[in-house]
Structures are given as structure tokens and as C-alpha cells.
Amino acid sequence: MAATIPADDLQQTPTRLHSLDALRGFDMVWIMGLEPIVIELAKLTHWRVFETMAVQLVHPDWNGFHFYDLIFPLFLFMAGVSVPFSVGRELEKGTSRNKLLWRVVRRGLILVIFGIVYNNGLNIKPIEEIRFGSVLGRIGLAYMCAAIIYLYAKEKWQIFWFWFFIVAYWLILEFASAPGFAAGDLTMEGNFASYFDRCFLPGKLYLGIHDPEGLFSTIPAISSGLLGILTGITLKKTGLTQMKKVAYMSIIGVVFLLLAQLWNLDFPINKNLWSSSFVLNVGGYSLLLMSLFYYVIDVLGHKKWAFFFKIIGMNSILIYMSKKFIDWPYTNEAFFNWLFQLVGDPYNLVIAALTYLMIKWLFLYLMYQKKIFLRV
């Protein structure tokens, strides 16, 4: 039976958000193995629900938004939410800001290095063959900048910097472009962010002329991290009841979604550019998901159902990096080839995808039991 939190406990500062671990696991499970299950079911059944979901699990070519575009920025948002609970707790203990600054910078740089390793492996390559832009690299840089602002700026100034980065980014792309293109050109070849990366980002770009995790488009990603930090501050406040926190997140989430659609008319929602309208769009969805998970898990106390996601969320970087060092498909075939043969075509592909996800989860469960977590 779910436990109801007493009214007196509403004013206590939470030490850990169970909902944050669960939401992080929900986010990671899609790229961990849930995506191919949905896609195979769509191919086999042709049911509209699976076909609709399968479309949402593919990135748009350029402008537009699908659910799959939310996975990356949601993770960055949650990295921000954790800052007031981790860095903030150390500040409350009396740890100096300069000491915490080093920790924040170190963590950010480690994530950048992890991202380079994820892209290129451990083999030594010429610089021109190395891709420096990465998912973990963007999370590391955006988290680092947002956390530094948190360390040295009051909440009202954090709000200022949130808007400053996305407005400034919009104005730059609105009035600048690559040489030979009209001001405000937002094509892959003509936009200023891609041109900046072609000039200053070393190594190779993911698409040759553009990198979706480039350097210049990391500027608005800082706002995604700051939104998470501001959400974490709200969740940590002792002067607000839990239901008010849920209401604030939900209302602001809806407002952001509406503003994103308005901004989309001039500055299209675009993950590749991490456009300002994209920041508001994914920020709105992130707030709504955070409010839902927080309400169900931390307010109502329904925690058991989220255990599956919690196991993933508590070791998300480990399972993400493992893809480069563990041949998961081979492990899947080695243990369950007999099952695939027993099921036969065409549903063996669905079973294969399910067992692929199960093996990864069991690996994380073992790490959880042994209390082994990859911390950065």
C-alpha cells in the first residue's frame, strides 16, 4: 500500500528525490533497448499505436520535434535538478565555493572526455579523424556552466541567465549566417552555429558540415541545465507544500510549451541547432514529466512500480558507456539463441529485443546489489 506523507513532513528538505532516479531510468530505457522493441512490434503488427510510437522514435531530418528529441535534453535537465541537492548540500555544510567550483569543472571535463571516448574508442587517431562533439560532452559543458552560475549567482540572476542565453542565441542566428548566405539563414549549410563549428571545432563534424552536438549550439543548452537547477531549487524549498511544487512545475511546463510554439513561427523547433524554441519545448515536457513522477512517487508514495526504472537511473552513465566496451548483441545471442529458434520468425525479433533489454537490466541490477555505481 502506498504511504501518504504526513503534512508535517511537507516542510522538510528532501535529501534524495526517488522520482529523479526513476525519471532518469525512464529516459535511459529508450536508448537502452526499449526503442527496438517498439519498432519491431510496429513492423509485425501494423497496429496504429505502435506505428505512431515508431515514428516518434526517429529524429526529424532538420526542423520539427519527435519524442526521441526529448531523451537527450531531458537528461541534461535532470543533471541540473540534482545540482541543488548535491552542490547545494555541500554549500550548506560550509564547503567553499572555490572548492566546489573545482568539483564542478572536473565533472564537466570528465564527461567531455567520456564523450570523446564514446565517439572514437580508445584508439589513438589523428586529430582530424576525431569527433570531439558528443552527447556527454554537451551535458558536461552545459552542466558545468549552469552549475558555476548556481554557485555564484542568486536565483533571480539564474533566471536572468536562462533567458539571456536563449534570447542572445536567437538574435545571433537571426542576424548572422555563414558567408554567402542571407542573414538569418537556418539551413544546415547557411546557419551561423554550423559555420562557427566548421571554423573553430577541431576534428571532424558528425555530418561533415554540421555537428548536432557542436560547440556554438551548446550556448542555449546551458539554459536547459539552468532550468533543471531552478526546478531543483523549487523542489528543495521548505516554504512550499509538495502540491504547490507540482502545480508550479505543471503550469510553467504548459506555458513553456505554448511559448515554444509561438517562437517556432520565427525560430523553428530544431534539435540539431538546439534552437531557443527547442529549449522551451523540451523544457516544458521535462517539467511536466518531472511533476508527474514527483507527484506519483514522492508525494503519493507509489515507489515500488518505479523500481525497474530506478535501477537504470542510478547507473545511467555506466550503461550508456558500456555500449562501447561490451558486445551486448553477442551476449544476447549466446544465452538466448535457443529461445529465438523456438519462437521462430517473425516474432523472434521482438523476443530478441526484449532479452537484449533484460540482460542489460540484470547487469545493472547486479551492480545495484553490489552497490557499484559509476559516479562522475
pLDDT per residue as tens, the chain (376 positions): 333 333 333 445 555 689 999 999 999 999 888 888 898 888 888 899 989 999 999 899 999 999 999 999 999 999 999 999 999 999 999 999 999 999 999 999 999 999 999 988 888 888 888 999 999 999 999 999 999 999 999 999 999 999 999 999 999 999 999 999 999 999 999 999 999 999 999 999 999 999 999 999 999 999 999 999 999 999 999 889 999 999 999 999 999 999 999 999 999 999 999 999 999 999 999 999 999 999 999 999 999 999 999 999 988 888 888 887 777 665 556 666 766 667 667 777 778 888 888 888 998 999 898 888 887 7
Cell of 69: 528529441
**Total domains in the fold of the chain:** 1
Count CB neighbours of 12 within 10 A: 10
Phi-psi domain of 301 (left: phi exceeds 0; alpha: psi -120 through 50; beta: other): left
> For residue 375, is it within any domain?
no
In a domain, 222, yes or no: yes
Residue 1 within any structural domain of the chain: no
242: Cβ contacts below 8 Å, ≥ 6 apart: 5, 10, 294, 295, 298, 299
Burial of 152 (0-12, 13-18, 19+ CB in 10 A): exposed
Query: Is 2 within a domain?
Result: no
Q: What is the Cα–Cα distance from 207 to 198, expressed in whole angstroms?
A: 11
Q: Domain residues for 258?
A: 7-369
Burial status of residue 175 (CB atoms within 10 A of its CB: 0-12, 13-18, 19 or more): exposed
Residue 71 lies in a domain: yes
- H helices of the chain, in order, are 18-29, 35-45, 48-56, 71-93, 97-120, 135-152, 155-175, 192-200, 218-236, 242-264, 276-293, 307-313, 316-322, 328-343, 348-369
C-alpha to C-alpha distance for 257 and 138, rounded to whole angstroms? 23
Residue 219: per-residue pLDDT: 97
Question: Would you give the end-to-end CA distance of the chain in angstroms?
Answer: 36
pLDDT value of position 15? 58
In a domain, 374, yes or no: no
Residue bearing cell 564547503: 95
| 3-class SS of residue 370 | coil
Q: What is the pLDDT of residue 11?
A: 43
Burial classification of residue 249, based on how many CB atoms lie within 10 Å of its CB (0-12 exposed, 13-18 middle, 19 or more buried): buried
| DSSP character at residue 60 | -
d(CA 145, CA 105): 8
Tell me the backbone φ, ψ of residue 321, rounded to 5 degrees. Answer: -70, -25
Q: In this structure, is residue 54 part of a structural domain?
A: yes
Residue 251 lies in a domain: yes
Confidence at residue 4, expressed as pLDDT on a 0 to 100 scale: 36
